[in-house]
């Protein structure tokens, strides 16, 4: 019955709610009001095709809001329409926030970028690289790694640490999952210390420094923040990042009074191993037994790599810090040169890019948790050189373009969505509206 009601609601003409922005203000900011409508049209197509249940979109130009709208439903079953201040699980967009915290502590002299990880977590001394795996027995062999993991390796995902998730190397996934290594996000019955000490016992996918492999690196950096700062990760992030940036709706665990603003998570209906065109609310565990409702649960595992929930407005404030080279509303939070370093490509030509998950041609990545637009890959999109951004596994997207003074965010909420390209479609719709 619930599914029937859901499918009925999803076949209703998609709703659009919006916060209006004066047309003349938009024009003054270098955007064509008549062409911004293409963003609405693109999102409405996604709703009509049942690719998404709802979305919020926010665009800032030169520090001013020029587009802010909500579309569709935050919860289909109850008919709750999406609002521009609704809260989303931002998954891997958490990485940039945690990386900022790491670099703040770097400025304070807590570590050097090329320090060995084992200097701070001795369990990571003498890592081993996977040689062979016996799937039937669940056993594996290793060889000594060519060198130790550095802090820089963690920030740029070249440590050899992987993820136990569907988008990772399947062998590493099995090894991690069998051992109880988390997929990030949030685990209610463990701590960062417990799980990172367990991670230290796992083999690396490859030698440190030789390849970009997306993995639990930023969760490990979250643990290091606790060591370096002497504070729990959530306390540090609140005091040093969320509060100074006026990110009033960003949390690992939402306070009860904000539970009602969390957007429901949806996925495609699967029948006979085929994904259908219908959406249903996720009610089963995500990845390593993580409850889809994790933002409302008071878990003890604080995932710096994927555990945060936030709003488009909060994340716009975060991006504004970078466009202002470390300053937010007149207060400096981090140095200009540090911001420059974070947004500088850290993957030399000798660094390979692991196939899982796939990345774009000539992929560039810095120390700040962002993919970068450089001279090397500028031919791939309309992004200006110097642009930076990243997305989250639940189909949230965002970037900033310093040359255009642009910040753009599109948040939806789908698990394992086959329509993750909505982020690229949003990017096209935004750039076609720029008229200066």
Hey, is 398 helix, strand or coil?
strand
Hey, is 326 helix, strand or coil?
coil
Q: Which residue has the tokens 């949030």?
A: 186
Predicted local distance difference test score (pLDDT) of residue 187 = 65
Predicted local distance difference test score (pLDDT) of residue 271 = 65
Report d(CA 311, CA 249) in Å as an integer: 7
Predicted local distance difference test score (pLDDT) of residue 269 = 80
Task: Please state the domain extents for the chain.
Answer: 96-236
The full DSSP string for 201-270 is TSPBSS-TTSEE--STHHHHHHHHHHHHHSS-HHHHHIIIIITTTT-TT-BSS--GGGGGGBPPPEEEEE
Report d(CA 159, CA 211) in Å as an integer: 8
Structure tokens at 436: 């200066």
Whether the Cβ atoms of residue 311 and residue 85 lie closer than 8 Å to each other: yes
Predicted local distance difference test score (pLDDT) of residue 272 = 59
361-397: per-residue pLDDT in tens? Answer: 899 999 999 999 999 999 999 999 999 999 999 999 9
CA 168 to chain centre: 16
CATH class of 96-236: alpha beta
Q: Which of 332, 337, 164 is nearest to 245 (CA)?
A: 332
Going 252 to 256 to 260 to 261, the CA torsion angle's sign is negative
Predicted local distance difference test score (pLDDT) of residue 286 = 84
Q: Which residue has the tokens 């320090």?
A: 115
For each of the chain's 436 residues, which pLDDT tens digit applies?
333 333 333 343 445 554 444 444 676 578 998 999 999 999 999 999 999 999 999 999 999 999 999 999 999 999 999 999 999 999 999 999 999 999 999 999 999 999 999 999 999 999 999 999 999 999 999 999 999 999 999 999 999 999 988 788 999 999 999 999 988 887 668 899 999 999 999 999 999 999 999 999 999 999 999 999 999 999 999 999 999 999 999 999 999 999 999 999 999 886 655 555 689 999 888 876 789 999 999 889 999 999 999 999 999 999 999 999 999 999 999 999 999 999 999 999 999 999 888 888 899 999 999 999 999 999 999 999 999 999 999 999 999 999 999 999 999 999 989 899 999 999 999 999 999 7
pTM here is 0.93
Whether the Cβ atoms of residue 187 and residue 195 lie closer than 8 Å to each other: yes
Report d(CA 254, CA 434) in Å as an integer: 37
Structure tokens at 376: 């090397």
274-327: per-residue pLDDT in tens? Answer: 555 689 999 888 876 789 999 999 889 999 999 999 999 999 999 999 999 999
């Amino acid at each position: 019955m619930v599914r029937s009601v859901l499918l009925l609601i999803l076949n209703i003409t998609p709703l659009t709610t919006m916060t209006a922005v004066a047309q003349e203000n938009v024009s003054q900011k270098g955007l064509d009001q008549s062409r911004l409508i293409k963003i609405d049209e693109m999102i409405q197509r996604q709703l009509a095709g049942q690719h998404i249940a709802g979305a919020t979109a926010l665009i800032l130009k030169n520090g001013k809001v020029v587009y802010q709208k909500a579309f569709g439903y935050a919860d289909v079953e109850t008919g709750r329409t999406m609002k521009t201040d609704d809260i989303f699980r931002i998954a891997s967009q958490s990485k940039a926030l945690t990386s900022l915290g790491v670099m703040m502590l770097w400025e304070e002299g807590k570590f050097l970028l090329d320090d060995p990880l084992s200097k701070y977590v001795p369990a990571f001394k003498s890592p081993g690289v996977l040689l062979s795996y016996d799937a039937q027995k669940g056993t594996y062999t290793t060889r000594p790694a060519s060198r130790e993991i550095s802090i820089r390796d963690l920030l740029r995902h070249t440590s050899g640490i992987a993820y136990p998730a569907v988008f990772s190397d399947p062998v590493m996934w099995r090894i991690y999952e069998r051992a109880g290594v988390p997929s990030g996000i949030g685990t209610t019955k463990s701590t960062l210390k417990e799980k990172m000490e367990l991670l230290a016992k796992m083999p690396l996918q490859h030698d440190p420094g030789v390849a970009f492999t997306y993995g639990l690196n930023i969760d490990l950096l979250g643990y290091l923040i606790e060591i370096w700062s002497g504070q729990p990760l959530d306390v540090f992030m609140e005091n040093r990042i969320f509060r100074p940036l006026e990110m009033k709706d960003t949390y690992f665990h939402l306070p009860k009074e904000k539970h009602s603003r969390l957007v429901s998570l949806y996925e495609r209906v699967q029948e006979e191993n085929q994904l259908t065109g219908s959406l249903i609310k996720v009610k089963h565990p995500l990845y390593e037994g993580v409850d889809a409702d994790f933002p409302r649960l008071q878990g003890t595992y604080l995932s710096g790599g994927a555990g945060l929930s936030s709003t488009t407005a909060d994340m716009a404030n975060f991006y504004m810090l970078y466009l202002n080279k470390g300053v937010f509303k007149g207060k400096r939070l981090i140095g200009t040169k540090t911001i420059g370093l974070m947004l500088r490509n850290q993957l030399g030509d000798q660094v390979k890019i692991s196939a899982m998950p796939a990345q774009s041609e000539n992929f560039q990545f810095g120390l700040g948790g962002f993919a970068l637009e450089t001279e090397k890959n500028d031919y791939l999109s309309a992004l200006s050189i110097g642009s930076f951004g990243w997305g989250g596994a639940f189909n949230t997207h965002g970037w900033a373009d310093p040359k255009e003074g642009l910040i753009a965010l599109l948040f939806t909420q789908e698990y394992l969505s086959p329509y993750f390209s909505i982020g690229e479609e949003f990017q096209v719709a935004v750039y076609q509206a720029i008229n200066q």
